[in-house]
Amino acid sequence: MSAPTRPAGLTDDFLEGLVRRVPGRTGATWKLTEVYTGEVLVELPQSTPEDIEDAFARARAAQELWARWPVKKRLEVFHRAHTLLLDNALTTADLIQAESGKNRRMAIEETCDPPMVISHYLKRAAKLLAPTRHGGPIPFVSSSTEVRVPKGVVGIIAPWNFPFATGLSDAIPALMAGNAVVVKPDNKTALSPLFGIRLLEEAGLPPGLFQVVCGEGPDVGPTLIDNADYVMFTGSTATGRVIGERAGRNLIGCCLELGGKNPMIVLDDVDKAEWLESTVFGAFGNTGQICMHIERIYLPESRYDELRSAFVERAASLSIGASYDFGPEIGSLVSPDHMERVASHVADAVGKGATVLTGGKARPDIGPAFFEPTVLEGVTKDMLAGSVETFGPVVGLYPYRSVDEAVRLANDTDYGLNASIWSGNLENAERIAARIESGNVNINDALATAYASKGSPSGGVKSSGVGARHGDQGLLKYTDAKNVAVLKKQVLGARPGQDYDGYVKQMLSSLKLMKKLHVR
């Protein structure tokens, strides 16, 4: 198969202009490659600890002025940014495909995430950031006002699977709240967030407010966390524990969206046609490299053979290829190293008795990191594919006899990021959803509905994370609450000439009366 032609807009000058923003005083670089072919696209500077400290210093200087801008003025930048991001979506998609290898559909859908986040917070940010007046301890003569102030400089460590979405979408509410941002994208996928930041500055974001540093995690992460006032991380549970521990030592907050081994429960009244296409996407979209993608599917024994056959047939029919058009349904994995990891999970499962129903092989004839959509049967918890997040186009099918058994199996994991319930009876599905230990549960969808609902928080439970993105929490986490309390008259204490016993009796009587009158 012939190698795809790189899009004409991704010239050497254009790419070198993007990475010029990244500090790297030693001249050390990392070869950022086009995943489809392995060809080097650009030499990405690698940041030293001193570079990172300087980036935070520049960000802090810019943040002092930005935080003094009225919220309305800050939001005007994002009104303009929304238009620019959409107008440049095709170029962004080209960059995403070149650096990550995903297919065109997923690249385009990824470009939509930051504008969706902007749209949501343009409606909510002013209200969330406005001072909120509360009652004080003494009615009428005291009050308390909740004032939201920015944390300062937020450090964001973004993953490679959705580099543009996580690199920008997690930063947008932080910036709206008055913070500066220092982001560390993965070396493999730094180009699309760099382009997005250029567009934000074109929209009026002050220079210096949004910094980028690059390097391998162990080299860059400690200095970034030690200089940040808050950390947002998306990635593996193992790395999340390390980041959370260091943030805790520094007494700063963090939000961690971590791994998942996400289950789907299919009930016996499911509409097969509707279930099939959504589930194929939920298992194999972005070549299985979605934190919320489905890795375990529980099918009722009464329809197991029917649903298994339909799913395996559709998975086997998925077109896989390297192309900058909408032809292939499945793209590449992000790197040959990750492809080997996925392959090792399949080999381990087969070696311990699982059966490959379709797929199961690398496709070097297409490119260096391609792997076939794979469906397994007979997976057990002593297999990697049965207990550890595979993060590739691999899914296991499991029969169940009762709903109670399905719920128990779905919850039998250390993870709790996403789950899916399928049924023709929504009330029944909602009852089952209430029993699932997961931060997100989709009913009659695999994953997209929960993630795209920007008004509701999205995060994990158990070993899948701490905190959430989206919703009011997704912006307020980047602020501190300052309590400004006012006492209009000095009534907190005994009056002149009043003994303290009399004051105590009066105080206790007043508290009883306030409760009775619902006054606080």
Residues designated as active site: 257, 291
Contacts for 310 with CB less than 8 Å, ≥ 6 apart? 272, 276
Does residue 358 sit in helix, strand or coil?
strand
CA distance 374 to 369: 15
422: left (phi over 0), alpha (psi -120 to 50) or beta: beta
The DSSP annotation for 40-55 comes to EEEEEE---HHHHHHH
Q: For residue 103, what are its two tokens? A: 């297919």
Distance CA 174, CA 179 (A): 6
Question: Which helix H or strand E contains 110, and what residues bound it?
Answer: helix 104-111
Q: Is 323 helix (H, G, I), strand (E, B) or coil?
A: coil
Chain center to CA of 227: 22
For residues 355 and 360, give the distance between their C-alpha atoms in angstroms, rounded to a whole number.
10
Return d(Cα 479, Cα 176) in angstroms, integer: 10
∠ Cα 335 340 346 (to 5°)? 130
Angle at 39 between CA 36 and CA 40, to 5 degrees: 125
SS3 444: coil
How far, in Å, CA of 238 to CA of 258, rounded? 9
Question: How far is residue 329's CA from residue 109's CA, in Å, rounded to a whole number?
Answer: 13
CA 254/CA 259 separation, integer angstroms: 16
CB neighbour list of residue 113: distance below 8 Å, 6 or more residues apart = 162, 164, 165, 168, 169
For residue 34, count other CB atoms closer than 10 A to its CB.
21
DSSP state of 203: T
Distance CA 339, CA 359 (A): 14
Helix (H) or strand (E) holding 222: helix 217-227
d(CA 151, CA 481): 10
DSSP 122-145: HHHHHHHHS-EEEE-SSTTTEEEE
497 contact partners, CB below 8 Å, separation of at least 6: none
Q: How many helices (H) and strands (E) does the chain have?
A: 20, 20
User: CA 374 to CA 357: how far, in whole Å?
Assistant: 7
- Counted residue by residue, the chain has a size of 520
Cβ count within 10 A of residue 220: 22
